[in-house]
Structure 1
Amino acid sequence: MKCNWCESSQATSSSGTVYWELPDGTKAVTITETPSVICGDCGMEYQEETTLKEIEDQLFLINTKVLEAELSYKELMAKPRLLKRNYFDFSS
């Protein structure tokens, strides 16, 4: 795996904790066990764009009023959706 920051081949898949502000700005949540990349050379820990998009889409599609302050990535992605897809995403 190649690091997106320093382009080293010392990057590995891992999981970490991220902090996310809800799309409506009402609160922030802690998402544990989030798929991440950690680079052994530069020390950077980050999430790939696909993971970021999955989190953003899910937070648009679920009822965030009843969302816990802390949950795992798997728990977040398992929340029932109010809509089938993010109709506000015009990037595809």
Structure 2
Amino acid sequence: MEINCEWCGGKASNGENTVYWELPDGSRAIEIRMTPAVVCKECEMVYQDEDIIKEIEDQLFLVDTKKIGSSIGYRGLMELPRLLKRNYFDFSS
């Protein structure tokens, strides 16, 4: 499947990168390693698509963030047990 860059419209591919995310309570930021990303071959932009952003934000809202150190892998973050089944404060869907 061909991916087009959201920034320049050029050809892009799936990849991974490290991102830094502020916790929902604003207390600190964490490093999330090996996060799925879109990598543009033309403009060299590396970014997360909206689905990944929503997954990260929902997961951080639903887990006990005190159990997360300053750095965690994306897969490890997604495997943390949730305190709630879903984000009941997300009215977008």
TM-score normalised by length of structure 2 = 0.96
Where 1:6 maps in the other structure, the secondary structure is coil
TM-score normalised by length of structure 1 = 0.97
Q: Separation in 1 of the partners of 2:67 and 2:84?
A: 16
One-letter amino acid of the counterpart of residue 43, structure 1: E
The match for 1:2 among 1, 4, 8 is 4
Identity %: 56
Where 2:4 maps in the other structure, the secondary structure is coil
Quote how far apart the aligned CAs of 1:66 are. Answer: 1.7
Quote how far apart the aligned CAs of 1:75 are. Answer: 0.2
User: What corresponds to 2:73 in structure 1?
Assistant: 72
One-letter amino acid of the counterpart of residue 25, structure 2: D
Segments of structure 1 that go 5 or more residues without pairing to the other structure are: none
Q: Separation in 2 of the partners of 1:2 and 1:66?
A: 37
> Which consecutive aligned stretches of 4+ in structure 1 deviate over 6 angstroms post-superposition?
none
Alpha-carbon displacement from aligned partner over 1:70-89 (angstroms, at most 9, x marks no partner): 01000000000000000010
Number of aligned residues: 91
Alpha-carbon displacement from aligned partner over 1:31-52 (angstroms, at most 9, x marks no partner): 0000001101001000000000
Segments of structure 2 that go 5 or more residues without pairing to the other structure are: none
User: What corresponds to 1:90 in structure 2?
Assistant: 91
One-letter amino acid of the counterpart of residue 65, structure 1: K
